[in-house]
Amino acid sequence: MRVFVTGATGFIGSAIVQELMGAGHQVLGLTRSDAGAKWLADTGAEVHRGDLDNLESLRSGAEKSDGVIHCAFNHDFSKFVANCEADRAAIEALGTGLIGSDKPLVITSGTGHNSSGQPRTEEDALVPSSVNPRGASEEAGLSVLAKGVNVSVMRLPQVHNREKAGLITYIKALAQEKGVSAYIGDGLNRWPAVHLLDTAHLYRLALEKGRAGSRYHAVGEEGVSFRKIAEAIGKKMNIPVVSKSSEEAGAHFSWLNLFAALDMPASSTLTQERLGWHPTRISLLEDLES
């Protein structure tokens, strides 16, 4: 299959590019930079120059391909709402390039959280963009599904390898800056996680075997307590691990305070059954301590 990958130069997208090529697919990778184009060419992929803001470049990339994986996202959190709306427009444009075909489009979202304490499942409906701006991505997925596009959603937790771990990357940087690794209250709130290489494999399975309208959860671990995460960071950096009250947390976590107290367990039981995916790589804590 010739697969158009957006975000092909990013943390997750670059692992997907390698997973796809290793399985014999051709990749057409979106990039906006010379460095990205060089990396793609060196990897053996075709280069598609474009930008998330250039919707025509997205539509034409989708049109030229046999399937699309959409991983590009602007992670400037100071413009989060605008970036989520840009993702909506990007998914609509990719969908436009696929209308009238059965070619698969896999888009990206988050596993999110609910207040019940129960793990979120693939059956849980999207969180609307009026509640969480990132809901725009899944709303756009439903919109292109209604136009007959073979779209599925990949919901991600914290995706880790030795170098990065989603939002935990920023939490590590804060711990380094402040000289303490912190959690809030008893720190028993849980964050789900998955290894980067298991994630890339699951995107390929969703592309090859996914069904229109499905939601998949790339969850390797349902929920690691925030306290354990803080302890692993403290151990690795050799700094104290401290509990902060909710009143103190804002000063430590800054913009991440919105997330640090969230309990966000998520399950991948249905994804594993439906796609035959079984995550096998090392755990979040092993990566944080390695």
Ligand X SMILES: NC(=O)c1ccc[n+]([C@@H]2O[C@H](COP(=O)([O-])OP(=O)(O)OC[C@H]3O[C@@H](n4cnc5c(N)ncnc54)[C@H](OP(=O)(O)O)[C@@H]3O)[C@@H](O)[C@H]2O)c1
- Of 37, 43, 51, 209, the one binding ligand X (CB under 6 A) is 51
Q: Specify whether the CB–CB gap between 263 and 113 falls below 8 A.
A: yes
Residue 159 or 205: the one with the smaller Cβ distance to ligand X is: 159
Residue 175 or 219: the one with the smaller Cβ distance to ligand X is: 219
- Dihedral over alpha carbons 187, 228, 126, 3 (to 10 degrees): 160
Asked if 166 touches ligand X (CB under 6 A), the answer is yes
Asked if 156 touches ligand X (CB under 6 A), the answer is yes
Among 47-55, 119-127, 228-236, 272-280, the segment contacting ligand X (CB under 6 A) = 47-55
Residue 49 or 242: the one with the smaller Cβ distance to ligand X is: 49
β-strands 221-225, 190-195 pairing: antiparallel
Distance CA 263, CA 116 (A): 9
Show the binding pattern over residues 87-126: x = contacts ligand X (CB under 6 A), - = does not.
---------------------x-x----------------
Here the tokens at position 100 are 């009238």
Asked if 71 touches ligand X (CB under 6 A), the answer is yes
Distance CA 127, CA 171 (A): 24
- Of 3, 4, 5, 9, the one binding ligand X (CB under 6 A) is 9
- Shortest spacing between CB 240 and ligand X, in angstroms: 26
Asked if 135 touches ligand X (CB under 6 A), the answer is no
Is the dihedral angle over the CA atoms 10, 2, 136, 168 positive or is it negative? negative
Among 28-36, 221-229, 240-248, 260-268, the segment contacting ligand X (CB under 6 A) = 28-36
Q: Give the CA distances from residue 204 to residues 1, 92, 145, 151, 276, in Å, rounded to whole numbers and listed in that order.
A: 11, 21, 20, 14, 12
Q: Which residue has the CB atom at the shortest distance from ligand X?
A: 10
Residue 34 or 177: the one with the smaller Cβ distance to ligand X is: 34
Estimate the crossing angle of helix 196-209 against helix 11-22, to 10 degrees. Answer: 60
The amino acid present at 202, given as its one-letter code, is L
Q: Specify whether the CB–CB gap between 48 and 33 falls below 8 A.
A: no
Residue 135 or 166: the one with the smaller Cβ distance to ligand X is: 166
Q: Give the CA distances from residue 49 to residues 12, 13, 218, in Å, rounded to whole numbers and listed in that order.
A: 19, 15, 29
Asked if 218 touches ligand X (CB under 6 A), the answer is no
> Contact residues for ligand X (CB under 6 A)?
7, 9-13, 31-33, 36, 51-53, 71-75, 108, 110, 156, 158-159, 166
